[in-house]
Structure 1
């Protein structure tokens, strides 16, 4: 019998691995003087090579990789979505790298492919601990562990937890007492350690290790310029929208210092030569004074970058001074979370948003020539066909380019509790795909039909207007804008053809 990397072979057959030994007697996986080899995976969520899912480089994995590197571990990232890598390609990379620990990120849209990836790895004879992390894994941890899809679940913010797991396993120490994780032992007993408190000082985190990821050109996002990378300047959200979960970053907003944010932007300019920045906060403008300070520093330091807000701009927190500074700092596109064009529906989902205030903000964005889109949800619990049409008409009235989405009740949200007795269609992780047709719940008979009709009409009514066509042509200024337009057109065709 011989040892090849981390797998024991006898005539080509795997017999036992260090992970099995660790589970049996707690022996170090590498040894006190060696460090762990950790492989982090973002599942391939693409439906094909033409219309790839819209993603930017994943911040969560970027931070995890950076923390592990900071503590001396060897890390490899497999972003299977960016590389369009099939399952056998992932397995080949795993066998080549020979990791001691595998981590797979799982938000609600990656859950199904995370499951398939883990199954393929385990059926491929890889006896290495598989760790799931992210909001979906945090919420569904018991089901995941009971089915053996993962050996360990990292709950909530994962940076400190994954570092402690790797360090303890490397030294052969028990995982009992590691805050923020759950696991199942060999006897089938589930263990849930206490939750880990949120990271108080976000400035303590290293910057994401983008050097381990594919080139940003591999990420089909709605940006205009390359290279580009996302930055998160705060974590947490103080609002109580019923469709959102706070299981990872919590209800209290925590800010990085302005100096730390500026240092990261300078780092990205110097080391990655970025031309564009995506700010991925949930609530960047919650503190308008801080937001202005960040813009002031970008302007004062002549950083010469373009900025896109994928979210994080409250549609009711603004001033002309803030918008003017956004423009001077390089902001060219923002997305506003509005959700519904009917005030009663907005109130029912606890959005805390006055629709009457949005008109003036959109007017300012137009005056300063900042491209703007609106996120809208159709099929909310008390949405009728009439209120869904209110939302479509509201987008048309504002001339605000819309992203219409069917409402999905994600586990861990108040919305899920409201609708769980009214679920329809496919079960499991497939239920939570925006690409799959059909409503996921029906609060009244015929609501699914009304949702399908509204989704089919929404884009047609908005974009098949001369004013909207002129708007799209005016705002299309780069090759990537054309790609984004093409992908958007494919999405609209799919939406209309499937009527959901």
Structure 2
């Protein structure tokens, strides 16, 4: 029997927080491999429920803690030379390295190891993990995949792995892995891919669950790489998603579930509304969270009522900027009147203003500091809570092609590094001290 180890490595960054974060692609891979008779083991260095995880220094706000979120254990590391001018500590987040090493030595040697890497600028964690795996399992075949290897394939080829999966779309990933492993996964379309739930049972314990009801996004925002990662837009059957939610609750006792969708409300009459109705029929004691921003364009009164009735608690709406020029540069998916209509619908449905958070892009090259200040004032005047989303230059986006195409070092994609590079760190720190967001 083939033995496969799935690894989600540490986060090497200035800051990191577990906001319903699970390596969903890796867990789907584990489910399909296991169905084909492969022995699968998971090592998630960012699992706070792991027996080897240490208590975090930052536990996070109470509301997020109650929903299963929280900080990671962190260790201060020497800064890469690239970050020498940034007056912040560079850290490793997750299970301590010495405990990870002991865990690896206790495992039966795998034939193949799959390492994922989310953010492009988190690649140091994947690199260190690859070196560790090579030392402990010299005979194993090491494969690197994830967002980093998809958006930065040339850079990823230098990390010393035996093979690279430089695609993110599940059908393309399945084809690549079949060629690498010689195992027929039987994933011919997205229905096949979603026919199995993610292998959450590989975790010893879960404090929350995550669900993906769709792949991709029909919009092409200039700052977002969703279309580069998932060229097609696919929505799962609502009843199938509701069954998965029920499975997560009944199998693991989960009471908090986050939706990972980039475009949950698109074609709401065919997708979200039937899903909400199915969840209401099941009447599960589960609270739902939407950490990704909702499209204000589709937030109608009917949608808002179903969000409230179906116990969606964390509501975040994307605005990005109040500047009409900036909105047009982004994708023209939202305007101020559309946004105000969406907020009115949420309030009428029973959501208190403090329950609604609004994403504003901070540091985006299409805007200036005065645009951010105007956007903050606009959101505050509506009685809402602004949430600054720090802009990170991302390969595969239109913004990156226009502004940053000559950059080759993925560390430069780090949102904190870009904050300092653009000179916006002073405004950011001032706003933090004044508690403007």
Q: TM-score normalized by structure 2?
A: 0.79
**Partner SS for 2:296:** coil
* CA contact 1:45–1:53 (8 Å) conserved in 2: no
**Partner SS for 1:76:** strand
Which residue in the other structure is 2:255 paired with? 275
In structure 2, what is the Cα distance between the partners aligned to 1:245 and 1:232? 17
Deviations 1:200-244 (A, max 9, x none): 436653100101024233xxxxxxxxxx20100010111111111
Which residue in the other structure is 2:144 paired with? 132
> Please, which of 102, 110, 130 is the counterpart of residue 113 of structure 2?
102
How much does 1:435 deviate?
4.5
Which residue in the other structure is 2:356 paired with? 372
Which residue in the other structure is 2:163 paired with? 152
Structure number with bigger Rg: 1
In structure 1, what is the Cα distance between the partners aligned to 2:176 and 2:367? 45
In structure 1, what is the Cα distance between the partners aligned to 2:139 and 2:227? 30
How much does 1:394 deviate?
2.3
* Within-5 A mapping of 1:34-53: 35-45=1-11, 52-53=17-18
Q: Structure 1 stretch 160-169 or stretch 81-90: which is displaced more?
A: 160-169
What residue ranges of structure 1 are gaps of 5+ in the alignment?
A: 1-34, 180-196, 218-227, 441-447, 465-500
How much does 1:250 deviate?
2.4
In structure 1, what is the Cα distance between the partners aligned to 2:372 and 2:286? 38
In structure 2, what is the Cα distance between the partners aligned to 1:52 and 1:352? 28
Which residue in the other structure is 1:71 paired with? 36
* CA contact 2:165–2:176 (8 Å) conserved in 1: no
> Please, which of 268, 280, 303 is the counterpart of residue 288 of structure 1?
268
* CA contact 1:235–1:281 (8 Å) conserved in 2: yes
Establish whether residue 239 from structure 1 lines up as the match of residue 219 from structure 2. Answer: yes
**Partner SS for 1:316:** helix
Establish whether residue 337 from structure 1 lines up as the match of residue 318 from structure 2. Answer: yes
How much does 1:153 deviate?
1.5
In structure 1, what is the Cα distance between the partners aligned to 2:375 and 2:131? 41
Which residue in the other structure is 1:487 paired with? none
From the superposition, tell whether residues 214 and 360 of structure 1 become closer, same or farther in structure 2 (CA, over 3 Å).
farther
In structure 1, what is the Cα distance between the partners aligned to 2:110 and 2:202? 15
* CA contact 1:406–1:455 (8 Å) conserved in 2: no
* CA contact 2:294–2:316 (8 Å) conserved in 1: yes
* Within-5 A mapping of 1:250-269: 250-269=230-249
From the superposition, tell whether residues 233 and 47 of structure 1 become closer, same or farther in structure 2 (CA, over 3 Å).
same
Establish whether residue 356 from structure 1 lines up as the match of residue 356 from structure 2. Answer: no
**Partner SS for 1:311:** coil
* Within-5 A mapping of 1:157-176: 157=168, 159=170
From the superposition, tell whether residues 170 and 231 of structure 1 become closer, same or farther in structure 2 (CA, over 3 Å).
closer
From the superposition, tell whether residues 247 and 41 of structure 1 become closer, same or farther in structure 2 (CA, over 3 Å).
farther
Q: TM-score normalized by structure 1?
A: 0.70
**Partner SS for 1:68:** helix
From the superposition, tell whether residues 248 and 269 of structure 1 become closer, same or farther in structure 2 (CA, over 3 Å).
farther
Aligned-residue Cα RMSD (Å) equals: 3.0
How much does 1:160 deviate?
5.5
In structure 1, what is the Cα distance between the partners aligned to 2:160 and 2:284? 45
In structure 1, what is the Cα distance between the partners aligned to 2:278 and 2:395? 40
Deviations 1:435-468 (A, max 9, x none): 447445xxxxxxx23x22332233445548xxxx
Establish whether residue 215 from structure 1 lines up as the match of residue 205 from structure 2. Answer: yes
**Partner SS for 2:257:** strand
From the superposition, tell whether residues 163 and 318 of structure 1 become closer, same or farther in structure 2 (CA, over 3 Å).
closer
How much does 1:254 deviate?
0.4
Which residue in the other structure is 1:445 paired with? none
